Structures are given as structure tokens and as C-alpha cells.
Amino acid sequence: MRDKSVLRKLLGLCVATVVVVGRELHEAGDGGRSKLVVKVRRRARVRGRCGRCGVVAPWFDNGGGERRWRHIDVGMASCELVADAPRVSCPEHGVTVAEVSFARHDSAFTRAFEDLVVFDAIVSNKLAAARRHGISWRAVDHMCIRVATEALGRIDLLEGLVAIAIDEVKYKKGHRYLTVVCDHLTGRVIWAMKGRNKETVRAFFDALGEERAGQLQFLTCDGAEWIRSVIAERASDAVVCLDTFHLISWATAALDEVRREEWNALRRNGGAHAAKEFKGLRWILVRNWENLSSKQKGTIRDLERANKRAFRAWQLKEELRDVMSMPLVAARRGLDSWLAYASRSRLAPFVKLARTIRHYRESIEATLEWKLTNGISESNNAAIGRIRSAARGFHDPESFITMIMLNRAGIAPQLPWAPGS
């Protein structure tokens, strides 16, 4: 195999479009890193295209001469591609630098290098990816935006939706929220925007359009009026389901309120030791029974003797979870007896929750009937939480949205050497 074709293969350059013209190794000085500079050119038979839209366009001039793109490292050395950057005259975009097959428009990095960096930023975070590849955080941020924008331009995530979930996600302390929409069938995030109010939900329906909104059959959300009123306005034919994930989280919040009341009562009555033990219970109580260790299960059994009110609250939470996993007819009956029990429980947070559940009864039964359950909201919420903590919070909501889409919308780049990429 000839030297140049070995090099072309090592660099993963496409034989149909690119020819390796020459190469040079710039050896490092003290402590530095060597750099392999590879000169390439477009194959003569490949026609010039507009760098912005990809349409075949007539040659205009030689532009600013040679340009350089950082490429994936080769062994211990970094690597740079060098090529002429002629300009074409696009009927739509005017005089533009011609497209090169190995890089995105207006980038100082090759497509493969960007995909690799963005892949790393998704599995860890932007700072880690920046350090790993010796580039700035800002450069990684721009790559994420470029890769996401390109991918979102290729696919229409709002096409063919039948069942969706509308939810809010915190991105920063002090009540800064995004509204996030997921597709129940694919589990993907399909839309996100800063804010949580009627205007935000209307913006989603604007993007969706009237016809596609009319095709929606199911929507899940929590009890929020700002979501429900817009749904009534824009997708009145759809069945509104109350996400079980939200229902269970309401019950968990009620349980925690009871625990806190009991803890305060213990403290007031001078049971400092008991109060301290009680505080530590929190994480055991809110977890699902099947996820507890046998020692933790023992602690809950002991609670039955130690504090009847907290135990009853815990039972109510677990029973509601059971009811929500039953088939429709059994669940209807189960919910009736649960409501009766909760109303008589003399636990104020659960008496209140029973009222709320009666209010949303129709939505809850729709959820049971159509089995649009917590899976999707729960896993997307957890994943979005991981994205936020990996980045140690986000100041810029757009940047957070970009990472959510790259992670959860099915548009993450493959590794450059993955088959078919």
C-alpha cells in the first residue's frame, strides 16, 4: 500500500472526495507535542458546493488561500489538515467558501474531531472534553451547538407525534425552569424552551402547527394549570393523562411532610435522640420498598411500633404505588378504597392529597386506561438531572437545552470510527 493511501486511511478521509497531497511532521521542542500537518485537496471530479447549503455552485475565486483544520490526533502527535479554500457563488448565499467534505462550515476543526469531542462532552462534560483534547471550553461549547444544529436541521422531531409528555425542569437555583416535551413512543425529548408558563406551552404548539396538534391523541403532564389550559385551547381532542410519576411524587411529598411534623413534635417534646434518628429516616421512607435493603426494611417495620402516624403515611404512599400498577378495573376499586382511607387518616397532607386526586380523577383513570406511565418522564428527568450536575449547573438555558437535545433527542454523534458514520 502506498504511503499516501496508508495516511489517508489512518486519517479516515473519504477516498471519493479527498486526495492526500503531502505531509510534514513538525517536531516538538522541549515538552511540546509534535504535529502532523497533512496537505489535502478535493478530487478534481467533485464539484464545488456552497459551504452553507451544499448546493452545487460555480467557482468564484481562490478565496483567502489555504485553511487549516484540527483533526483527530495521530499517535502521540496532534494532526492538522491543510487545504485550499476557494469560494463559490451560491444563488442563495452569494459568495461563500466552498464546502469541504471533512469539516462543517465555519469551523476550525474537522467533522470527525468535532464528533469525537462532542461525544466526550456528552458522556462526561464540556470541561473534561476540553482538557482531554487540549482546546478551550468555549470551543467545545460551539462544537456542541454546531453538531446539534446540524442534526436538528436534518430531522423533524415534531413529525408523527401521537402521545407526548409536557414537563418542567429546573436549570438553575431561584426558580429558573425549562419546559420540556417528550415523545411517549420513542422516549425522546423532542422540544425544550426556557420558561414555564402559558406562553412557553403556546410556543410549542406554534412550532407543532394546527394540523399536527390535531393528530395528538394523548398528553401527559402534572396538574399545572399553565399546561392544562393551553392543551384545552390547542389540542382539545387529546386525552389528558396525569403522569403517574407526578402522582407518586405528590404522595412522597405528603409523606415527607408528615415525617417532618413528627420530627418537630419529637424535638419539642425533648426527645433529642429519637428526633435525630427520625431525621435519618427520610431517605429510607421516600425510596421504593423493593429498592430497600433488608436492614432498611427492618427499620420500616420498627416504625410501625415507634411512630404510627409516620408509618401510616408510608403505607399510603406505597399503596398508591401499588394501585397505579394495577389493571384498570382493579385500580379503580383500589383508588376508591385508597381515597377513603386517606381521607380518614387524620394526616393533613394526605387528606389534602385525596382532595387533589379526586379533582384529577379523570386524568388519572385515563393514565391507567392507556398505560402511559411514569417511565419516560422519570428517566428523562433523571437524565436531565445528571446532565445538570455533570456541568455543575447551567447559567445559560440555551446551552442546557443543547446538551439535553444532544443527550436525549437521539441526535448524539457516533464515534468517528463507528460503522456507517
Question: Which stretches of the chain bind Zn ion, using CB under 5 A?
Answer: 50, 52-53, 90, 92-93
One-letter amino acid at 150 equals E
Residue at shortest CB range from Zn ion: 50
| 134 Rama sector, left if φ>0, alpha if ψ -120 to 50, beta otherwise | left
Q: Which is nearer to Zn ion, 90 or 239 (CB)?
A: 90
Shortest distance in whole angstroms from residue 387 CB to Zn ion:
34
Q: Least distance to Zn ion from the beta carbon of 411, Å?
A: 23
Cβ atoms within 10 Å of 378's Cβ, excluding its own = 16
For Zn ion, give the closer residue by CB, 77 or 85. 85
Instruction: List residues bridging with 98 in a β-sheet.
Output: 50
Q: Which is nearer to Zn ion, 48 or 349 (CB)?
A: 48
Whichever of 96 and 363 has its CB closer to Zn ion, that residue is 96
**Distance from C-alpha of 132 to C-alpha of 327, rounded to nearest angstrom:** 51
Coil, helix or strand for 29? coil
Shortest separation between residue 359's beta carbon and Zn ion, angstroms: 55
The single-letter code of the amino acid at 177 is Y
Please report how close the Cβ of residue 42 comes to Zn ion at its closest, in angstroms. 17
Query: Which C-beta is closer to Zn ion: that of 94 or that of 160?
Result: 94
Nearer to Zn ion, 90 or 98 (CB): 90
CB of 184 to Zn ion, least distance (A): 38
* Strands 239-242 and 218-221, sheet pairing: parallel
- Using CA atoms, how far residue 38 sits from 2, 13, 47, 287, 310, in Å, is 15, 11, 22, 57, 70
The rounded radius of gyration (Å) of the Cα atoms in the chain is 29
Min dist CB 57 to Zn ion, Å, is 7
Instruction: Annotate 228-276 with DSSP letters as a single string.
Output: HHHHHHH-TTSEEEE-HHHHHHHHHHHHHHHHHHHHHHHHHTT-HHHHH
In the complex, minimum distance from the CB of residue 287 to Zn ion, in angstroms, rounded to a whole number: 56
By C-beta, is 14 or 56 nearer to Zn ion?
A: 56
